[in-house]
Amino acid sequence: MSVAASGYLRIEASNVDAWMDFGTDVLGLMDARREDAQGARFLRLDEHPFRFMIEPGDGDRLIAAGMEYPTAAAWQATCDALAAAGHEVTPGSAEQAKRRCVTAFASVKDPSGNQLELYHGRELDYVPFNSAAGVPAFVSSYQQIGDLGFGHFVLPAPETEATIAFYTDLIGTGITDTLYPPGMEGVQITFMHANNPRQHSLALFNGPHPAGVVHIMVEVETMDELGRCMDRAKAAGSHFLATLGRHVNDNMCSVYLLAPGGIAVEYGYDGLLIDPETHVATVSTEGDLWGHEYSFPGVNE
């Protein structure tokens, strides 16, 4: 296993300004204020140059997820293994790498069609994190700046078994937990960790999703910061997709909000850290210790 962390997300937004307002005013992320020829804007949550690239487009969906490798050699070995297994691996140009603030990257699709950008050599500019909403910090570091990744994300994986194998055998994740949520016949969510202590860096849902991502998660350091975000979300009129609750497997105490355009964002604190070398994969038949009552717009709100 060699993938280091979930590094960044590229998100297509039909209203980039609205997404940025949500990102800064409600979530408390930092506008990186970077110029971009293609009209993208960038959100930071730590010393990394950006964690979310918000790109203008017709829809609201995940474009690609950036996965970080610890060395050029580990990255190259992964690209070679993917190509040898018959996957189309497309190297990024120097100009495209510069836009992503990485030394090199390559694009590949998983068997369910999710686009990944595998990279190594992220540039750190050490600009201090400064949240206009007053969030002191997001949880992204353990032993080294940003080594826990930005948080986690959940991908649709209708080609479930092939997609799980793609990540465990080729990308380099380990399975942390497999959840069969009660009352949701046939639903399976496979939680996976990278080579860092975050309990899961990504998860796979065994069905399709129109946004190309089931949810993304960012983590703050205290209950009070979560509560303050809930106040900001209420004041901004954000839709709460789920009430406050605590997950069983990563212990995350969180709420779920809908970003403008409909991508779900989990905002949590108190996430579990594991030893990725010794973790024993579990199977859960309950998703939450308490809370997390869902209200889908137009369905059961």
Residues that bind Fe ion (CB under 5 A): 217, 266
> Which is closer to Fe ion, CB of 68 or CB of 266?
266
Q: How far is the CB of 266 from Fe ion (least distance, A)?
A: 4
CB closer to Fe ion, 16 vs 217: 217
Q: Tell me how many degrees the CA angle 96-43-154 measures, rounded to the nearest 5.
A: 85
- In the bound state with Fe ion, the residue whose beta carbon lies nearer, of 44 and 200, is 200
In the complex, the smallest distance separating the C-beta of residue 252 from Fe ion, rounded to whole angstroms, is: 6
Residues paired with 55 in a beta bridge: 12
Closest separation between CB of residue 184 and Fe ion, Å? 15
CA dist., res. 54 & res. 248, Å (int): 31
Q: Closest CB to Fe ion among 110 and 266?
A: 266
* Long-range contact set of residues 125-131: C-beta below 8 Å, sequence gap at least 24: 125/47, 125/49, 126/47, 127/44, 127/47, 128/47, 129/30, 129/44, 129/45, 129/46, 129/47, 130/30, 131/24, 131/28, 131/29, 131/30
| Cβ at position 203, least distance to Fe ion in Å | 7
145 vs 248 by CB, closer to Fe ion: 248
CA gap 55, 241 in Å, rounded = 24
Residue 217 or 230: the one with the smaller Cβ distance to Fe ion is 217
Q: Where are the alpha helices (DSSP H) in the chain?
A: 16-21, 72-84, 94-100, 160-165, 223-236
Pick 14 or 251: Cβ nearer Fe ion: 251
**Shortest Å, Cβ 152 to Fe ion:** 6
**Alpha-carbon gap, residue 62 to 79, rounded angstroms:** 22
Q: What are phi and psi of 61, to 5 degrees?
A: -165, 165
CB-based burial, 32-41: b 16+ in 10 Å, e otherwise:
beeeeeeebb
- Least distance to Fe ion, CB of residue 121, Å: 28
Q: Shortest Cβ distance from residue 7 to Fe ion (Å)?
A: 17
CB of 130 to Fe ion, least distance (A): 26
CA-wise closest residue to 238 among 288, 297, 299, 154:
297
- Residue with smaller CB distance to Fe ion, 82 or 202: 202
Order the strands of the 41-44 sheet from edge to edge. Answer: 30-31, 41-44, 52-56, 5-13, 61-69, 115-122, 102-109, 90-91
